[in-house]
Amino acid sequence: MSGRRRLIFFSFLASILAGVFLGSGLYTFVAAHGASYLSNDPAVCVNCHVMREEFDGWQHGSHHAVAVCNDCHLPHDNVVHKLFVKASNGYYHSKAFTLMNFQEPIRIKPANAEVLEANCVRCHAAMIDEITAHGTLGVPTDPARKADLYGCVRCHEGVGHGPTR
C-alpha cells in the first residue's frame, strides 16, 4: 500500500472512530437528560433514583422554600470554582451510580462538606456572627470524622434534607 493510500485509509478509519465516539457520547448525553444537569432544578437530582430519599427529605425540610440543591452544594465564591465542582461532582456521581460502587447510605465527601459549610455560613452570617467571631464552628480536627461531623450539619443534620430517620 502506498503512502497516500495508507494516509487515506487511516484518515477514513479515524473519521469512523471519531464518529462512533461522538455519536455514542451524544446518545448518552440525550438519554441521560444531560442538559438538565446544567439547570438549577432540584428535580434533576432525582434523575438518579438513588437520590430520591434526599429529594423527598428536602421537599419536607425547612430550606425547601428558600434554597435548592445548588444553593447548598455548590460554591458561590466564583464561577470557575462553581463549574469545576459541578462538573467533578457530575463525573464522580455518574461513575459511581453507573458502576453501582457507592456506599449506602450516601455520605458527603470532606471537600463537598466544606462547600456546604461555607454556604451555611454565607446564608446565615448575620445570625452566627458571634459563633464565627471565635474562629470555629466546632469542626472536628480528625480528618476521618470530618465527613460525619462537620460544623453546622453536625447539630443541624436534618435541616437541608428534612428528617432522615
Supply 12's cell numbers.
477514513
Rounded CA-CA distance 42/24 in Å is 27
pTM assigned to the model? 0.71
Average pLDDT for residues 21-45, to the nearest whole number?
Answer: 87
Residue given cell 444537569 in the structure block: 37
Give pLDDT, residue 101: 86
**What's the average model confidence in pLDDT over 74-96?**
90
Q: Does 85 have pLDDT greater than 90?
A: yes
Cβ–Cβ < 8 Å for 152, 63: no
Which of 58-72, 103-117, 134-148 has the lowest average pLDDT?
134-148
pLDDT score for 72: 93
